[in-house]
């Protein structure tokens, strides 16, 4: 019995010692000289797992991060940037250097640094507001350049009403899950009845609603015409309901801004005079690839998570460019006017 009592007293004694050590490490705060263990360190942990695989790919895909800090009234405070080797490490956390305790809204864009594809405004501390922070897709007279050799991705996250506590001891970590705003689209289009000469036929995507992305990731803007940043002619062989195919088709690669379910964007095939021969609603076409295996996602979540689409469109130019076969990310359908709303 005495031995058990002694063990209890020993445990209590050790607990008291640990408490005294912790107290002494912060005791100097009474004299306004806090020790390193007691000074709050504010960090933001950036991740990118809002994707098709639900796996964090920030270290592989996010090349740079520009964090914009706004106070509780929505007034711009400062801008912090991270890039290079630091972002290539898993679990990257940005230190909020020079940020005092208080309530803030953080808006981060990834992929905008030294990137000619996007235009980001210069904000003035103490003057600029949240609404002033917009990212625009670079264009010339409404046409998005096809000469961007390596279009990189754009990421976004907003963290509202984040409290940086003055009473925090050690690290205070804020989680930030980023969304990818750009989409890679590879389109293979051909006709069962003739070759498509790239000097006579041209692919493009017309969009009226994603030139500008606001601080809250809402899209707006004037009509844009996306031109492929890479295009070529390839042979096509296969079988359709209308017989064997042995023609040359067009392949175009696009980098697009964020796509909403109610987007008015359309994929178009034009002739050398600019007349539209074939046109389908882009969002509705891409959603064909959703299939039942992603039924737990809403249509908008699917468009936001999936960032790469591969389309194969087979037409019959002898019959008003009617769709013979459509394949979206491996899903094959024989569309009709009801399906695509042509």
The answer as to whether 197 is a domain residue is: yes
The answer as to whether 18 is a domain residue is: no
Burial of 236 from C-beta contacts in 10 A (0-12 / 13-18 / 19+): buried
Domain boundary, last residue among 129, 161, 180: 180
Domain check: are 197 and 83 in the same one? no
In the DSSP assignment, the letter for residue 75 is B
**CATH number of the domain enclosing 223:** 2.60.40.2090
Give the integer Cα–Cα distance in Å for 110 and 157.
9
Count of Cβ atoms closer than 10 Å to residue 90 Cβ = 9
State both tokens at 261: 């379910």
Per-residue confidence at 33, pLDDT binned at 50, 70, 90? very low
Tell me the DSSP string of 158-189: EEEEEEE-TT--SEEEEEEE-EE--EEEEEEE
Domain that holds residue 269: 183-340
- Report the chain's mean pLDDT, rounded to a whole number: 82
Domain check: are 198 and 335 in the same one? yes
Of the listed ranges 107-116, 174-183, 236-245, the least confidently predicted one is 236-245
Give the integer Cα–Cα distance in Å for 314 and 194.
11
Contact 93, 38 (CB under 8 A): no
* Size of the chain, expressed as the number of residues it contains: 342
CA–CA–CA angle 81, 254, 52 (5° rounding): 65
The answer as to whether 14 is a domain residue is: no
Q: Rounded to a whole number, what is the distance in angstroms from the first to the last CA of the chain?
A: 88
Tell me the pLDDT tens digit for each residue of 195-238: 888 888 889 999 877 889 999 999 888 888 888 887 788 876 65
Per-residue confidence at 26, pLDDT binned at 50, 70, 90? low
Q: Helix, strand or coil for residue 237?
A: strand
The answer as to whether 285 is a domain residue is: yes
Helices (H) and strands (E) counted in the chain, each on its own, are 5, 23
Domain boundary, last residue among 159, 180, 201: 180
Domain check: are 303 and 239 in the same one? yes
State both tokens at 161: 């009403």
The answer as to whether 61 is a domain residue is: yes
Tell me the pLDDT tens digit for each residue of 262-282: 988 999 999 889 899 899 999
Which is more confidently placed, 269 or 247? 269
Contact 68, 136 (CB under 8 A): no
Give the integer Cα–Cα distance in Å for 255 and 5.
73
235 sits in the region (left: phi over 0; alpha: psi -120 to 50; else beta) called: beta
Give the integer Cα–Cα distance in Å for 209 and 219.
6
- Number of structural domains in the chain: 2
Domain boundary, last residue among 145, 180, 215: 180
Domain check: are 174 and 102 in the same one? yes
**Does pTM surpass 0.75?**
yes
Of the listed ranges 83-97, 228-242, 257-271, the least confidently predicted one is 228-242
Give pLDDT, residue 30: 39
State both tokens at 252: 């175009």
Domain check: are 131 and 153 in the same one? yes
The answer as to whether 3 is a domain residue is: no
Domain check: are 192 and 165 in the same one? no
Give pLDDT, residue 248: 83
The answer as to whether 28 is a domain residue is: no
Domain check: are 188 and 168 in the same one? no
Which is more confidently placed, 69 or 223? 69
Which is more confidently placed, 69 or 238? 69
Domain check: are 277 and 222 in the same one? yes
**CATH number of the domain enclosing 111:** 2.60.40.2100
The answer as to whether 317 is a domain residue is: yes
How many CA within 13 A on the CB side of residue 70?
21
Which is more confidently placed, 69 or 27? 69
Give the integer Cα–Cα distance in Å for 97 and 69.
11
Domain check: are 202 and 332 in the same one? yes
Give pLDDT, residue 241: 43
Domain check: are 151 and 84 in the same one? yes
Q: What percentage of the chain carries pLDDT values higher than 70?
A: 79
Domain check: are 146 and 207 in the same one? no
Domain check: are 289 and 248 in the same one? yes
Q: What percentage of the chain carries pLDDT values higher than 90?
A: 44
């Amino acid at each position: 019995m005495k031995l058990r009592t002694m063990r209890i007293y020993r445990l209590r004694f050790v607990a008291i010692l640990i408490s005294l050590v912790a107290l002494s490490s912060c005791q100097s705060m009474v004299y306004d000289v806090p020790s390193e263990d007691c000074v709050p360190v504010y960090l933001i942990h950036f991740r990118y797992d809002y994707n098709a695989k639900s796996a964090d790919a920030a270290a592989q895909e996010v090349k740079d991060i520009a964090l914009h800090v706004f106070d509780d009234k929505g007034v711009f405070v400062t801008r912090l940037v991270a890039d290079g080797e630091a972002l290539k490490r898993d679990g990257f956390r940005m230190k909020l250097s020079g940020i005092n305790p208080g309530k803030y809204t953080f808006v981060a864009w990834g992929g905008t640094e030294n990137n000619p594809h996007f235009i980001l405004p210069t904000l003035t501390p103490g003057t600029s507001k949240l609404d002033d922070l917009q990212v625009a897709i670079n264009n010339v007279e409404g046409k998005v350049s096809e000469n961007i050799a390596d279009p990189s991705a754009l990421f976004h996250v907003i963290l509202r009403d984040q409290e940086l506590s003055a009473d925090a001891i050690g690290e205070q970590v804020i989680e930030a899950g980023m969304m990818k705003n750009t989409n890679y689209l590879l389109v293979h289009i051909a006709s069962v009845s003739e070759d498509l000469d790239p000097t006579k036929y041209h692919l493009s995507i017309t969009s009226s609603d994603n030139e500008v992305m606001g601080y809250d990731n809402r899209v707006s803007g004037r009509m844009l015409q996306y031109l492929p940043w890479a295009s070529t002619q390839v042979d096509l062989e296969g079988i359709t309901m209308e017989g064997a195919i042995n023609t040359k088709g067009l392949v175009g690669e696009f980098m697009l801004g964020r796509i909403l379910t109610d987007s008015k964007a359309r994929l178009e095939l034009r002739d050398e005079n600019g007349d539209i021969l074939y046109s389908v609603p882009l969002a509705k076409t891409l959603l064909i690839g959703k299939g039942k295996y992603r039924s737990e996602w809403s249509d908008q979540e699917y468009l936001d998570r999936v960032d790469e689409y591969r389309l194969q469109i087979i037409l019959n130019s002898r019959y008003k460019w009617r769709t013979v076969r459509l394949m979206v990310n491996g899903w094959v359908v024989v569309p009709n006017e009801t399906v695509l709303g042509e």
